[in-house]
Amino acid sequence: MALTADARLSTGNPMLDRMLGGGFIKGRTYLVTGETGVGKTILSLQFLLNGLTSKETCVYVTIDERVEGVLRGAESLGWNFWAFMESGRFIPLELRLYAAEARKYGKESRAFVDAIFNATRGRRFSRLVLDPVSALAQGAKDEFYVREYLREIITMIEERFGVTTLMTTDIPTGSKRMSRFMLEEFLASGVIVLGVRQIGGRLVRTIFVRKMRWSSMDSTMYVFTIEPERGIVIHEPFDDYVKALGSPAAQAVER
């Protein structure tokens, strides 16, 4: 069945849905990017929680962290993933496969997707998170193979599972790149960029949509906070926030 323009899935955040022109388009792959500690994992868990509370089956793949640590961290926000795990609708996986052996990338990407298929025992699921996809290719020497590896994984996931996927990718601190391999953003149908700015001694979290295929998007940069239960909460546009602080703070903004 052809997907209609209306086939959207909520990110779990009403404001982010609006910024994306109505949420994620079902069956596509999206990217959330930013330096370490900006909230990428929290945003991706919020996306899964939204599906779980709507009776969907969701898969969370951690690539360089222990699932337990992540789920315990989620508890600090009041999010209980264990109950969904017991009900069988939340399937967390730890996968460690590397593209370091460059020439095996074709085989390895298939093995990665097979591992997800085997762990879900062929069950249908609607949402998938790969966190962080950049870790898959850490240590690989040749960027060409890394690109082919990631491209194959994304294509196979879209074809095989038809699932809506959210990948996270880190950016080296201080880098102007949008993603680690400068490829993830081309493969994704949409990119959400999280950041932290220092303004007059305060750290302010920022969020904006960098790209959203087939949608009219709002590319304004907003301020957000991380709140218990609610997770990522988006507030006013960043420019308004700075103006409200007055001119000395505005001058201190690093652009």
> Which residues of this protein are in contact with ligand ATP, per CB under 6 A?
34, 36-42, 76-77, 170, 226, 228
Instruction: With CA atoms as reference, report the closest residue to 12 among 164, 115, 186.
Output: 164
Least separation in angstroms between residue 131's CB and Mg ion is 6
Smaller CB separation from ligand ATP, 72 or 103: 72
Nearest-angstrom CA–CA distance, 68 and 122: 24
Least separation in angstroms between residue 196's CB and Mg ion is 14
* Residue at token pair 């508890």: 75
Smaller CB separation from ligand ATP, 64 or 218: 64
Least separation in angstroms between residue 39's CB and ligand ATP is 4
Smaller CB separation from ligand ATP, 25 or 193: 193
Binding test (CB under 5 A) with Mg ion, winner from 41, 109, 126, 165? 41
Least separation in angstroms between residue 53's CB and Mg ion is 22
Burial class (CB in 10 A: 0-12, 13-18, 19+), 255: exposed
Burial class (CB in 10 A: 0-12, 13-18, 19+), 58: buried
Beta strand ranges found along 40-142 (DSSP E) = 58-62, 90-94, 127-131
Binding flag, residue 126, Mg ion (CB under 5 A): no
Q: Which residues are near Mg ion by CB under 5 A? A: 40-41
